[in-house]
């Protein structure tokens, strides 16, 4: 299995531009998570899906952020418009079930907004 695949690995964009991050979870995993990591705040859960349905989006910072999961094998996190404070590493993770199962992380997308 290729694991969780994220793209792009690195993204540099100008303030005000739209940014779309992509994730392909491990096949058969029912849960998908989007996290953001910064030095100041650590790993923050933004949103998670169960069977393609958003369950908890309370971590999404503001309306500029949106996430979708149109099918079991693909999810996107969109930032529009982007701001310099959005600069961070964004991780996607998936797990087989809730609760006691391991979450597998992708390699992350390092976003820089200038």
Contacting residue, 67, 95, 111, 113, with other proteins by CB under 8 A = 95
Structural contact between residues 52 and 69, judged by C-beta atoms closer than 8 angstroms: yes
Output the furthest CA–CA distance in the chain (Å, rounded): 40
Q: How far apart are CA 77 and CA 56, in angstroms?
A: 14
Structure tokens at 46: 């933004």
107 binds other proteins (CB under 8 A): yes
Query: What's the start-to-end Cα distance of the chain, in Å?
Result: 36
100 binds other proteins (CB under 8 A): yes
Measured from the CB atom, is 20 or 50 closer to other proteins?
Answer: 50
Total chain residues near other proteins (CB under 8 A): 22
72 binds other proteins (CB under 8 A): no
Contact window for other proteins (CB under 8 A) among 10-18, 63-71, 73-81, 99-107: 99-107
Q: How far apart are CA 10 and CA 5, in angstroms?
A: 13
Measured from the CB atom, is 52 or 81 closer to other proteins?
Answer: 52
Q: How far apart are CA 103 and CA 48, in angstroms?
A: 12
Positions in the binding site for other proteins (CB under 8 A) = 31, 33, 35, 42-43, 45, 48, 50, 55-56, 91, 93, 95, 98-100, 102-103, 105-108
């Amino acid at each position: 299995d290729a694991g969780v695949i994220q793209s792009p690995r690195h993204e540099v964009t100008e303030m005000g531009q739209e940014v779309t991050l992509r994730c392909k979870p491990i096949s058969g995993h029912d849960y998908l998570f989007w996290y953001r990591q910064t030095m100041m705040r650590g790993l923050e859960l933004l949103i998670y899906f169960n069977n393609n349905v958003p369950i908890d989006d309370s971590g999404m910072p503001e309306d500029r952020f949106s996430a979708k999961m149109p099918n079991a094998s693909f999810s996107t996190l969109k930032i529009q418009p982007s701001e310099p404070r959005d600069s961070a590493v964004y991780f996607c993770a998936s797990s087989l079930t809730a609760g006691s199962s391991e979450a597998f992380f992708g390699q992350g997308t390092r976003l820089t907004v200038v």
